[in-house]
Structure 1
């Protein structure tokens, strides 16, 4: 979260999805990044809510922007990115993430002002919360292959690490 003009958030996405949300009147915003739409039953029981899952990540970011902004849902600008199918060995997690984030926005009464979703490539996303500008670079196949390997390793481990309480979010 920031309202400073010189702050830029950055992330790299494969099948993950990121939302960039900003209060356009207060010029405050932030970015999330989630790996899966929802937790499995075992992970939910063991660790509770985690920012690596869509519903929690979306609710947390929206609530934070509303509380630090004007508090008016109508002032929110929402941009969504990611959900690529970059590894044919995995289920289409990206498609599930896209379906989730679109349905979440509909259910909550929001409309994405812009999006870059799907495809077969990884992306680097930069977001400037003060101005609301977002930049997307579609990454070459070598970088996409590295992201795919990392996602495959996470999927095979099925290990959920509880989120740390700090200013830094590890994902």
Structure 2
């Protein structure tokens, strides 16, 4: 299983392309694109960001590694999916903002890939609504242990929600096709 590239490398690649998004939001967009059924090929960047002028990430680059890792993690049956977020030693409010940014990226690209009425289960619909609420949230400055625990729970919720949505939009239809 390929590892997620370093967040600083993804941020540098994003800046180099002139993208107006940070590394977590870009990873969220990639995962939203994939979870919504978008193509897992090297056109993901232009398609997930709805900008045909964006070049395909170079083979072996941080953005190509990001794609390869996201595809492998979403397809992995051992639920090894991870979010590209700042390290645990970063301030709590910075990590919370990154999670909310990740959700913003996810929602935009998920909508592009899945369309107006994706084949969501009731749980998938609820998960999507919860992700939308997180995307609208903003962090407050805090170093409280309870807030630390709450952020860890939110990260785990997002992880599971993404896997659920990927299951509804990609794995479920794929499985139904293989049965027919």
TM-score, normalised relative to structure 2 = 0.28
Higher helix share: 2
Higher strand share: 1
TM-score, normalised relative to structure 1 = 0.29
